[in-house]
Protein backbone atom coordinates (compact mmCIF):
# COMPACT_ATOMS: atom_id res chain seq x y z
CA UNK A 1 0.00 0.00 0.00
CA UNK A 2 2.81 2.35 0.98
CA UNK A 3 4.59 1.53 -2.25
CA UNK A 4 1.62 2.49 -4.36
CA UNK A 5 1.30 5.82 -2.60
CA UNK A 6 5.04 6.39 -3.10
CA UNK A 7 4.45 6.34 -6.81
CA UNK A 8 2.62 9.63 -6.78
CA UNK A 9 4.95 11.67 -4.63
CA UNK A 10 7.17 14.32 -6.15
CA UNK A 11 10.28 12.60 -4.76
CA UNK A 12 9.54 9.44 -6.68
CA UNK A 13 8.82 11.27 -9.90
CA UNK A 14 12.01 13.31 -9.75
CA UNK A 15 14.14 10.24 -9.14
CA UNK A 16 12.44 8.26 -11.87
CA UNK A 17 12.95 11.10 -14.31
CA UNK A 18 16.67 11.23 -13.65
CA UNK A 19 17.29 7.51 -13.57
CA UNK A 20 15.28 6.22 -16.48
CA UNK A 21 12.58 8.35 -18.03
CA UNK A 22 14.86 11.27 -18.84
CA UNK A 23 18.19 9.58 -18.33
CA UNK A 24 20.79 12.25 -19.12
CA UNK A 25 22.87 10.05 -21.43
CA UNK A 26 20.44 7.67 -23.06
CA UNK A 27 17.37 9.83 -23.60
CA UNK A 28 18.65 13.41 -23.50
CA UNK A 29 22.08 12.53 -25.00
CA UNK A 30 24.04 14.97 -22.83
CA UNK A 31 27.47 14.65 -21.27
CA UNK A 32 28.71 12.24 -23.90
CA UNK A 33 32.32 13.41 -24.01
CA UNK A 34 33.30 12.09 -20.61
CA UNK A 35 30.97 9.11 -20.91
CA UNK A 36 32.97 7.81 -23.86
CA UNK A 37 36.48 9.05 -23.24
CA UNK A 38 37.07 7.48 -19.84
CA UNK A 39 34.97 4.31 -19.91
CA UNK A 40 37.69 1.92 -21.07
CA UNK A 41 38.32 1.02 -17.40
CA UNK A 42 35.66 0.37 -14.76
CA UNK A 43 37.58 2.10 -11.96
CA UNK A 44 37.87 5.29 -14.04
CA UNK A 45 34.15 5.16 -14.74
CA UNK A 46 33.35 4.87 -11.03
CA UNK A 47 35.67 7.75 -10.15
CA UNK A 48 34.17 9.94 -12.88
CA UNK A 49 30.60 8.99 -11.93
CA UNK A 50 31.14 9.88 -8.28
CA UNK A 51 32.88 13.12 -9.23
CA UNK A 52 30.08 14.20 -11.55
CA UNK A 53 27.38 13.20 -9.04
CA UNK A 54 29.08 15.25 -6.36
CA UNK A 55 29.40 18.28 -8.64
CA UNK A 56 25.75 18.09 -9.76
CA UNK A 57 24.39 17.72 -6.23
CA UNK A 58 26.63 20.42 -4.76
CA UNK A 59 26.14 22.97 -7.51
CA UNK A 60 22.38 22.35 -7.79
CA UNK A 61 21.87 22.82 -4.07
CA UNK A 62 23.96 26.02 -3.95
CA UNK A 63 22.25 27.42 -7.02
CA UNK A 64 18.77 26.67 -5.71
CA UNK A 65 19.78 28.23 -2.39
CA UNK A 66 20.67 31.53 -4.03
CA UNK A 67 18.07 31.36 -6.79
CA UNK A 68 16.09 34.30 -5.43
CA UNK A 69 19.04 36.70 -5.28
CA UNK A 70 20.70 36.09 -8.64
CA UNK A 71 19.58 38.46 -11.40
CA UNK A 72 18.61 36.42 -14.43
CA UNK A 73 21.06 38.26 -16.69
CA UNK A 74 24.16 37.06 -14.89
CA UNK A 75 22.90 33.61 -13.97
CA UNK A 76 25.05 31.76 -16.54
CA UNK A 77 28.24 33.31 -15.20
CA UNK A 78 27.13 32.48 -11.68
CA UNK A 79 26.61 28.82 -12.64
CA UNK A 80 30.04 28.72 -14.25
CA UNK A 81 31.81 30.08 -11.18
CA UNK A 82 29.94 27.81 -8.75
CA UNK A 83 30.45 24.71 -10.90
CA UNK A 84 34.13 25.35 -11.49
CA UNK A 85 34.71 25.86 -7.78
CA UNK A 86 33.35 22.38 -7.07
CA UNK A 87 35.24 20.86 -9.99
CA UNK A 88 38.50 22.30 -8.70
CA UNK A 89 37.79 20.76 -5.30
CA UNK A 90 37.11 17.38 -6.95
CA UNK A 91 40.35 17.67 -8.89
CA UNK A 92 42.39 18.52 -5.79
CA UNK A 93 40.72 15.70 -3.84
CA UNK A 94 41.59 13.17 -6.56
CA UNK A 95 45.17 14.40 -6.81
CA UNK A 96 45.62 14.15 -3.05
CA UNK A 97 44.00 10.77 -2.36
CA UNK A 98 43.87 8.91 -5.69
CA UNK A 99 46.88 10.11 -7.70
CA UNK A 100 46.58 7.10 -10.03
CA UNK A 101 43.04 7.92 -11.04
CA UNK A 102 43.86 11.61 -11.33
CA UNK A 103 46.65 10.96 -13.82
CA UNK A 104 44.53 8.52 -15.85
CA UNK A 105 41.55 10.84 -16.05
CA UNK A 106 43.88 13.78 -16.80
CA UNK A 107 42.16 16.71 -18.41
CA UNK A 108 38.75 15.02 -18.28
CA UNK A 109 38.28 15.90 -14.61
CA UNK A 110 38.57 19.58 -15.49
CA UNK A 111 36.16 19.04 -18.34
CA UNK A 112 33.35 18.24 -15.86
CA UNK A 113 32.79 22.02 -15.98
CA UNK A 114 31.59 21.82 -19.55
CA UNK A 115 29.65 18.61 -18.97
CA UNK A 116 26.24 19.66 -20.23
CA UNK A 117 24.43 17.63 -17.55
CA UNK A 118 25.65 19.86 -14.73
CA UNK A 119 24.77 23.08 -16.52
CA UNK A 120 21.52 21.56 -17.79
CA UNK A 121 20.27 20.58 -14.33
CA UNK A 122 21.11 24.02 -12.95
CA UNK A 123 19.21 25.76 -15.72
CA UNK A 124 16.31 23.34 -16.04
CA UNK A 125 15.69 22.42 -12.43
CA UNK A 126 17.71 24.04 -9.64
CA UNK A 127 16.92 27.64 -10.57
CA UNK A 128 13.18 27.00 -10.20
CA UNK A 129 12.92 24.53 -7.33
CA UNK A 130 13.58 24.44 -3.57
CA UNK A 131 16.80 22.99 -2.21
CA UNK A 132 15.44 19.60 -1.07
CA UNK A 133 14.08 18.71 -4.52
CA UNK A 134 17.22 19.98 -6.22
CA UNK A 135 19.34 17.64 -4.15
CA UNK A 136 17.14 14.65 -5.04
CA UNK A 137 17.24 15.67 -8.68
CA UNK A 138 21.02 16.01 -8.55
CA UNK A 139 21.40 12.54 -7.07
CA UNK A 140 18.98 10.98 -9.55
CA UNK A 141 20.75 12.47 -12.55
CA UNK A 142 24.18 11.71 -11.15
CA UNK A 143 23.28 8.06 -10.56
CA UNK A 144 21.56 7.82 -13.92
CA UNK A 145 24.80 9.01 -15.47
CA UNK A 146 26.98 6.77 -13.33
CA UNK A 147 25.06 3.57 -14.01
CA UNK A 148 25.30 4.04 -17.78
CA UNK A 149 29.02 4.81 -17.42
CA UNK A 150 29.69 1.71 -15.35
CA UNK A 151 27.66 -0.50 -17.66
CA UNK A 152 29.59 0.70 -20.74
CA UNK A 153 32.87 0.39 -18.88
CA UNK A 154 32.14 -3.22 -17.89
CA UNK A 155 31.51 -4.19 -21.52
CA UNK A 156 34.53 -2.29 -22.82
CA UNK A 157 36.99 -3.41 -20.19
CA UNK A 158 36.02 -7.05 -20.31
CA UNK A 159 36.34 -7.14 -24.10
CA UNK A 160 39.42 -4.92 -24.36
CA UNK A 161 41.54 -6.26 -21.52
CA UNK A 162 39.70 -9.39 -20.40
CA UNK A 163 39.35 -7.99 -16.88
CA UNK A 164 36.87 -6.14 -14.67
CA UNK A 165 38.45 -3.97 -11.97
CA UNK A 166 41.67 -5.89 -12.71
CA UNK A 167 40.11 -9.29 -11.94
CA UNK A 168 40.40 -11.68 -14.85
CA UNK A 169 36.93 -12.58 -16.18
CA UNK A 170 37.68 -13.89 -19.63
CA UNK A 171 39.09 -17.42 -20.11
CA UNK A 172 42.78 -18.07 -20.81
CA UNK A 173 43.73 -17.43 -24.38
CA UNK A 174 41.21 -14.60 -24.77
CA UNK A 175 42.25 -12.29 -27.59
CA UNK A 176 41.97 -8.66 -26.51
CA UNK A 177 39.77 -6.51 -28.70
CA UNK A 178 42.03 -3.48 -29.01
CA UNK A 179 39.29 -1.56 -30.77
CA UNK A 180 37.24 -1.51 -27.55
CA UNK A 181 39.97 0.34 -25.66
CA UNK A 182 40.03 3.27 -28.09
CA UNK A 183 37.42 5.77 -29.26
CA UNK A 184 35.46 3.70 -31.87
CA UNK A 185 34.66 1.02 -29.28
CA UNK A 186 33.09 3.63 -27.05
CA UNK A 187 30.93 4.98 -29.86
CA UNK A 188 29.67 1.54 -30.88
CA UNK A 189 28.94 0.33 -27.35
CA UNK A 190 27.04 3.52 -26.46
CA UNK A 191 25.12 3.37 -29.74
CA UNK A 192 24.08 -0.21 -29.06
CA UNK A 193 23.25 0.62 -25.44
CA UNK A 194 21.00 3.49 -26.50
CA UNK A 195 19.27 1.23 -28.99
CA UNK A 196 18.58 -1.53 -26.46
CA UNK A 197 17.57 0.88 -23.69
CA UNK A 198 15.11 2.74 -25.89
CA UNK A 199 13.72 -0.49 -27.32
CA UNK A 200 13.13 -1.87 -23.79
CA UNK A 201 11.74 1.32 -22.25
CA UNK A 202 9.65 2.01 -25.35
CA UNK A 203 10.91 5.59 -25.43
CA UNK A 204 11.55 6.65 -29.00
CA UNK A 205 12.67 9.90 -30.54
CA UNK A 206 10.36 11.55 -33.02
CA UNK A 207 11.87 11.67 -36.47
CA UNK A 208 12.45 15.30 -37.38
CA UNK B 1 59.29 24.40 -37.75
CA UNK B 2 58.94 20.78 -38.81
CA UNK B 3 57.74 20.01 -35.33
CA UNK B 4 55.01 22.68 -35.55
CA UNK B 5 53.77 21.28 -38.84
CA UNK B 6 53.74 17.80 -37.34
CA UNK B 7 51.63 18.99 -34.40
CA UNK B 8 49.24 20.75 -36.77
CA UNK B 9 48.75 17.69 -39.01
CA UNK B 10 48.67 15.36 -36.02
CA UNK B 11 45.88 17.30 -34.34
CA UNK B 12 43.77 17.19 -37.50
CA UNK B 13 44.16 13.54 -38.46
CA UNK B 14 45.96 11.35 -36.00
CA UNK B 15 44.75 12.92 -32.73
CA UNK B 16 41.53 14.46 -34.03
CA UNK B 17 39.94 16.17 -31.05
CA UNK B 18 36.43 14.93 -31.85
CA UNK B 19 37.14 11.43 -33.10
CA UNK B 20 40.11 10.37 -30.96
CA UNK B 21 39.65 12.37 -27.75
CA UNK B 22 35.84 12.48 -27.98
CA UNK B 23 35.42 16.13 -27.10
CA UNK B 24 32.66 18.51 -28.13
CA UNK B 25 30.11 15.75 -28.66
CA UNK B 26 27.02 17.64 -27.46
CA UNK B 27 27.12 20.36 -30.15
CA UNK B 28 28.40 17.88 -32.72
CA UNK B 29 25.35 15.70 -32.26
CA UNK B 30 22.88 18.55 -31.86
CA UNK B 31 23.92 20.69 -34.82
CA UNK B 32 24.97 18.12 -37.42
CA UNK B 33 21.49 17.68 -38.86
CA UNK B 34 22.29 19.85 -41.87
CA UNK B 35 25.45 20.81 -43.66
CA UNK B 36 25.01 24.56 -43.61
CA UNK B 37 24.65 24.86 -39.84
CA UNK B 38 27.50 22.41 -39.35
CA UNK B 39 29.81 24.61 -41.42
CA UNK B 40 28.82 27.70 -39.43
CA UNK B 41 29.45 26.00 -36.12
CA UNK B 42 32.71 24.50 -37.34
CA UNK B 43 34.05 27.86 -38.51
CA UNK B 44 33.07 29.53 -35.25
CA UNK B 45 34.89 26.79 -33.32
CA UNK B 46 38.09 27.19 -35.39
CA UNK B 47 38.02 30.90 -34.69
CA UNK B 48 37.35 30.70 -30.95
CA UNK B 49 39.61 27.74 -30.22
CA UNK B 50 42.61 29.38 -31.87
CA UNK B 51 41.98 32.68 -30.15
CA UNK B 52 41.42 31.26 -26.65
CA UNK B 53 44.41 28.94 -26.94
CA UNK B 54 46.65 31.90 -27.72
CA UNK B 55 45.11 34.04 -24.97
CA UNK B 56 45.13 31.37 -22.27
CA UNK B 57 48.81 30.52 -22.71
CA UNK B 58 50.30 33.76 -21.30
CA UNK B 59 47.64 33.79 -18.59
CA UNK B 60 48.71 30.34 -17.48
CA UNK B 61 52.36 31.45 -17.36
CA UNK B 62 51.31 34.40 -15.22
CA UNK B 63 49.36 32.14 -12.85
CA UNK B 64 52.35 29.85 -12.50
CA UNK B 65 54.63 32.75 -11.68
CA UNK B 66 52.39 33.64 -8.73
CA UNK B 67 52.16 29.98 -7.79
CA UNK B 68 48.38 29.69 -8.12
CA UNK B 69 48.41 27.20 -11.01
CA UNK B 70 45.66 25.09 -9.45
CA UNK B 71 42.94 27.66 -10.12
CA UNK B 72 43.68 27.66 -13.86
CA UNK B 73 40.31 25.94 -14.50
CA UNK B 74 38.36 28.86 -13.09
CA UNK B 75 40.49 31.42 -14.94
CA UNK B 76 40.34 29.54 -18.25
CA UNK B 77 36.57 29.24 -18.26
CA UNK B 78 36.24 32.93 -17.41
CA UNK B 79 38.65 33.87 -20.20
CA UNK B 80 36.73 31.76 -22.67
CA UNK B 81 33.39 33.28 -21.70
CA UNK B 82 34.87 36.77 -21.87
CA UNK B 83 36.54 36.13 -25.24
CA UNK B 84 33.33 34.83 -26.74
CA UNK B 85 31.37 37.77 -25.40
CA UNK B 86 33.95 40.26 -26.68
CA UNK B 87 34.18 38.56 -30.05
CA UNK B 88 30.43 38.72 -30.39
CA UNK B 89 30.34 42.47 -29.78
CA UNK B 90 33.38 43.08 -31.98
CA UNK B 91 31.97 41.15 -34.91
CA UNK B 92 28.55 42.70 -34.57
CA UNK B 93 30.06 46.18 -34.75
CA UNK B 94 32.74 45.76 -37.42
CA UNK B 95 31.94 42.63 -39.44
CA UNK B 96 28.15 42.30 -39.43
CA UNK B 97 28.29 39.89 -42.36
CA UNK B 98 30.51 37.44 -40.50
CA UNK B 99 28.39 37.95 -37.38
CA UNK B 100 25.27 36.94 -39.26
CA UNK B 101 27.04 33.89 -40.66
CA UNK B 102 27.96 32.71 -37.15
CA UNK B 103 24.48 33.46 -35.89
CA UNK B 104 23.54 31.71 -32.68
CA UNK B 105 26.59 29.46 -32.70
CA UNK B 106 28.95 31.93 -31.11
CA UNK B 107 27.31 32.11 -27.66
CA UNK B 108 26.88 28.32 -27.66
CA UNK B 109 30.63 27.84 -27.87
CA UNK B 110 31.25 28.83 -24.25
CA UNK B 111 30.03 25.42 -23.16
CA UNK B 112 31.76 23.50 -25.95
CA UNK B 113 34.27 21.16 -24.33
CA UNK B 114 36.67 21.49 -27.26
CA UNK B 115 37.58 25.02 -26.25
CA UNK B 116 38.32 24.20 -22.63
CA UNK B 117 39.82 20.84 -23.61
CA UNK B 118 42.44 22.43 -25.86
CA UNK B 119 43.45 24.81 -23.10
CA UNK B 120 43.78 21.94 -20.62
CA UNK B 121 45.72 19.74 -23.03
CA UNK B 122 48.45 22.30 -23.60
CA UNK B 123 48.90 22.56 -19.83
CA UNK B 124 49.23 18.77 -19.53
CA UNK B 125 51.66 18.52 -22.43
CA UNK B 126 53.82 21.53 -21.50
CA UNK B 127 53.78 23.05 -24.98
CA UNK B 128 55.65 26.19 -25.97
CA UNK B 129 53.74 29.20 -27.27
CA UNK B 130 54.21 28.38 -30.96
CA UNK B 131 53.27 24.75 -30.36
CA UNK B 132 50.13 25.86 -28.52
CA UNK B 133 49.10 28.05 -31.42
CA UNK B 134 49.66 25.22 -33.94
CA UNK B 135 47.83 22.74 -31.75
CA UNK B 136 44.85 25.07 -31.14
CA UNK B 137 44.41 25.86 -34.80
CA UNK B 138 44.84 22.21 -35.80
CA UNK B 139 42.28 21.06 -33.23
CA UNK B 140 39.77 23.60 -34.47
CA UNK B 141 40.24 22.42 -38.04
CA UNK B 142 39.99 18.80 -36.91
CA UNK B 143 36.67 19.45 -35.21
CA UNK B 144 35.42 21.28 -38.31
CA UNK B 145 36.32 18.26 -40.45
CA UNK B 146 34.51 15.92 -38.07
CA UNK B 147 31.26 17.89 -37.86
CA UNK B 148 31.14 18.48 -41.62
CA UNK B 149 31.67 14.77 -42.32
CA UNK B 150 28.95 13.74 -39.89
CA UNK B 151 26.53 16.37 -41.19
CA UNK B 152 27.09 15.29 -44.79
CA UNK B 153 26.41 11.67 -43.94
CA UNK B 154 23.33 12.52 -41.86
CA UNK B 155 21.90 14.72 -44.59
CA UNK B 156 22.17 11.88 -47.10
CA UNK B 157 20.88 9.32 -44.63
CA UNK B 158 17.78 11.33 -43.81
CA UNK B 159 16.59 10.87 -47.38
CA UNK B 160 17.73 7.39 -48.25
CA UNK B 161 18.04 5.06 -45.30
CA UNK B 162 15.65 3.22 -43.04
CA UNK B 163 16.97 3.51 -39.50
CA UNK B 164 15.60 1.19 -36.76
CA UNK B 165 13.19 2.98 -34.42
CA UNK B 166 15.39 2.72 -31.35
CA UNK B 167 18.33 4.30 -33.12
CA UNK B 168 16.43 7.02 -34.93
CA UNK B 169 17.45 10.62 -34.31
CA UNK B 170 20.55 10.91 -32.19
CA UNK B 171 21.22 7.22 -31.65
CA UNK B 172 22.43 6.57 -35.18
CA UNK B 173 24.97 9.40 -34.90
CA UNK B 174 27.00 7.22 -32.56
CA UNK B 175 27.24 4.48 -35.14
CA UNK B 176 28.29 7.03 -37.80
CA UNK B 177 30.85 8.50 -35.41
CA UNK B 178 32.14 5.05 -34.55
CA UNK B 179 32.75 4.18 -38.19
CA UNK B 180 34.37 7.58 -38.87
CA UNK B 181 36.55 7.26 -35.84
CA UNK B 182 37.53 3.76 -36.97
CA UNK B 183 38.59 5.27 -40.28
CA UNK B 184 40.66 7.91 -38.51
CA UNK B 185 42.45 5.18 -36.52
CA UNK B 186 44.01 4.40 -39.89
CA UNK B 187 46.02 7.61 -39.63
CA UNK B 188 47.75 6.39 -36.45
CA UNK B 189 51.48 6.91 -36.54
CA UNK B 190 51.42 9.58 -39.24
CA UNK B 191 52.40 12.39 -36.91
CA UNK B 192 53.44 12.42 -33.28
CA UNK B 193 51.93 15.12 -31.17
CA UNK B 194 53.56 14.76 -27.77
What is the number of structural domains in chain A? 1
The answer to whether residue B94 is domain-embedded is yes
Please give the pLDDT value at position B150.
93
Please give the pLDDT value at position A54.
94
Average pLDDT over residues B94-110: 75
Most confident of A43-52, A70-79, B79-88, B104-113: A43-52
Average pLDDT over residues A167-181: 82
Residue B114 sits in which domain range? 2-185
DSSP assigned state of B165? G
Residue A63 sits in which domain range? 28-201
Average pLDDT over residues A63-70: 87
- Out of A36, A107, A185, the one facing B121 most closely (by C-beta) is A107
User: Do A187 and B177 count as a contact with CB atoms less than 8 A apart?
Assistant: yes
How many interface pairs between A and B have CB atoms less than 8 angstroms apart?
A: 129
d(CA B139, CA B142): 5
Query: Is 80 exceeded by the pLDDT of residue A69?
Result: yes
DSSP assigned state of B179? H
Do the beta carbons of residue B138 and residue B12 sit within 8 Å? yes
Please give the pLDDT value at position A181.
84
User: A42-65 and A75-97 are packed helices; what angle lies between their axes, rounded to 10 degrees?
Assistant: 140
Mean pLDDT of chain A: 83
The answer to whether residue A183 is domain-embedded is yes
Do the beta carbons of residue B151 and residue B34 sit within 8 Å? yes
The answer to whether residue A138 is domain-embedded is yes
Nearest residue on chain A to B112, alpha-carbon basis? A114
Among residues A201, A50, A34, A21, the alpha carbon closest in space to that of A139 is found at A50
Q: Counting beta carbons within 10 angstroms of the beta carbon of residue A39, is it exposed (0 to 12), middle (13 to 18) or buried (19 or more)?
A: buried
The answer to whether residue B112 is domain-embedded is yes
Please give the pLDDT value at position A8.
65
The answer to whether residue A110 is domain-embedded is yes
Name every residue whose Cβ is closer than 8 Å to that of residue B90 and which is 6 or more positions away in sequence: none
What part of A 135-194 touches B (C-beta under 8 Å)?
179, 182-188, 190-191, 194
Tell me which residues of chain B have a C-beta less than 8 Å from any C-beta of chain A: 19-26, 29, 33, 70-71, 73-74, 77-78, 81, 110-113, 115-117, 120-121, 123-124, 164-172, 174-175, 177-179, 181-182, 185
Query: Is 50 exceeded by the pLDDT of residue A100?
Result: yes
- Backbone angles phi and psi of A164, in degrees to 5: -130, 120
SS (H, E, C) A158-175: HHHCCEECCEECCCCCCC
Please give the pLDDT value at position A164.
83
User: Do A188 and B81 count as a contact with CB atoms less than 8 A apart?
Assistant: no
d(CA B178, CA B180): 5
The answer to whether residue A56 is domain-embedded is yes
Please give the pLDDT value at position A3.
55
What is the number of structural domains in chain B? 1
Per the DSSP assignment, residues forming a β-bridge with A163 are A168
The answer to whether residue B103 is domain-embedded is yes
User: Residue B103 — very low, low, confident or very high, per pLDDT cuts 50/70/90?
Assistant: low
Contacts with B174 from chain A: Cβ below 8 Å = 187-188, 190-191, 194
d(CA A123, CA A126): 6
Mean pLDDT of chain B: 85
The answer to whether residue B194 is domain-embedded is no
Query: Is 80 exceeded by the pLDDT of residue A138?
Result: yes
Contacts with A204 from chain B: Cβ below 8 Å = 165-166, 168
Among residues B65, B107, B58, B66, the alpha carbon closest in space to that of B83 is found at B107
| Least confidently predicted of A82-86, A131-135, A151-155, A203-207 | A203-207
The CB-side HSE value for A182 (13 A sphere, CA atoms) comes to 22
The answer to whether residue A7 is domain-embedded is no
> pTM score, two decimals?
0.85
Query: Is 60 exceeded by the pLDDT of residue A2?
Result: no
Please give the pLDDT value at position A1.
47
The answer to whether residue A57 is domain-embedded is yes
The answer to whether residue A117 is domain-embedded is yes
- The H or E element spanning position B3 is helix B2-12
d(CA A113, CA A35): 14
- In sequence order, what DSSP letters do the residues of chain A get, joined into one string? -HHHHHTTSHHHHHHHIIIIIT-TTTTT--SHHHHHHTTTSHHHHHHHHHHHHHHHHHHHHHHHHSTTTS-GGGHHHHHHHHHHHHHHHHHHHHHHH-HHHHHHHTHHHHGGGG-HHHHHHIIIIITTS-HHHHHHHHHHHHHHHHHHHHHHHHHHHHHHTSEETTEE-SPTTPPP-HHHHSHHHHHHHHHHHHHHHHHHHT--PPP-
Helix spans in B20-170 (H): 25-31, 35-65, 72-94, 96-102, 105-108, 113-125, 129-160
- Backbone angles phi and psi of B72, in degrees to 5: -60, -30
Please give the pLDDT value at position A208.
43
d(CA A128, CA B119): 33
What part of A 24-63 touches B (C-beta under 8 Å)?
29-33, 36-37
Query: Is 70 exceeded by the pLDDT of residue A4?
Result: no
Q: What distance in Å separates residue B96's CA from the closest CA in chain A?
A: 24
Do the beta carbons of residue A154 and residue A42 sit within 8 Å? yes
User: Residue A6 — very low, low, confident or very high, per pLDDT cuts 50/70/90?
Assistant: low
The answer to whether residue B190 is domain-embedded is no
The answer to whether residue A12 is domain-embedded is no
User: Residues B156-190: pLDDT tens digits?
Assistant: 988 888 888 878 778 888 899 999 999 988 888 77
Amino acid sequence: MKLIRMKYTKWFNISRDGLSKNNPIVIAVLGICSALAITNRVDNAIAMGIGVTFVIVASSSVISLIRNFVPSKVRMVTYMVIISTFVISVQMFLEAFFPNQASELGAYVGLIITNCIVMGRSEAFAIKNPVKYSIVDGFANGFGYMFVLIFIAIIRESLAFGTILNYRVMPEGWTNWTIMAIAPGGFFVLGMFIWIFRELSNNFEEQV
Amino acid sequence: MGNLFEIFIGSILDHNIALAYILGMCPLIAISTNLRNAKGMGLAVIFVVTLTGIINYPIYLLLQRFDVGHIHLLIFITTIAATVQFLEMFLEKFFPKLYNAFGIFLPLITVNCVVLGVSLFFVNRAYSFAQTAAFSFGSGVGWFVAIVLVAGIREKMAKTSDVPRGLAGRGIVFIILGILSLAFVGFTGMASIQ
